[in-house]
Amino acid sequence: MKNAACASILTTVCAFGLQGASAAPIEARTARSPTTSSQINAPDRAYSTGQVKSVDWDQGKVLIAHGPIENLGMPGMTMLFRVSERSLLRNLNNGDKIQFKAEKANGTLFVVEIVRQ
């Protein structure tokens, strides 16, 4: 009798364990945001690499030493960018290595996405 009860419990535990294990990868795949670093590492001419030199939260600007910005036809240099939203500067620190997307609107360059590496 004890063996039958143990076998029943073991079967139930294994069944729940397997259901949980198969559900995790599905949740992980669907929980990704569109700007995960693994997706940005894919070739995309709109993203550039750089290093944060300084952050000015009050002015909504960030100084970046960057490589070429291909979508804008710019060579690598260090320059000050406005950000499209100040929230992009949240948790950004001097020295952070980043990938970013810059765009030009009305003659002004803006950083529209930033991902820390």
- Confidence (pLDDT) at 11: 43
- Confidence (pLDDT) at 46: 83
Tokens encoding 48: 């550039």
Identify the segments of the chain with pLDDT beneath 70.
1-45
Q: How many degrees, rounded to 5, is the angle at CA 95 between CA 89 and CA 96? A: 55
- Confidence (pLDDT) at 45: 66
As a whole number of angstroms, the distance between CA 8 and CA 3 comes to 9
Closest CA to 68 of 102, 114, 37: 102
> What is the 3-state composition of the chain as percent helix, strand, coil, each rounded to the nearest 5?
35, 35, 30
pTM over 0.95: no
- Confidence (pLDDT) at 7: 46
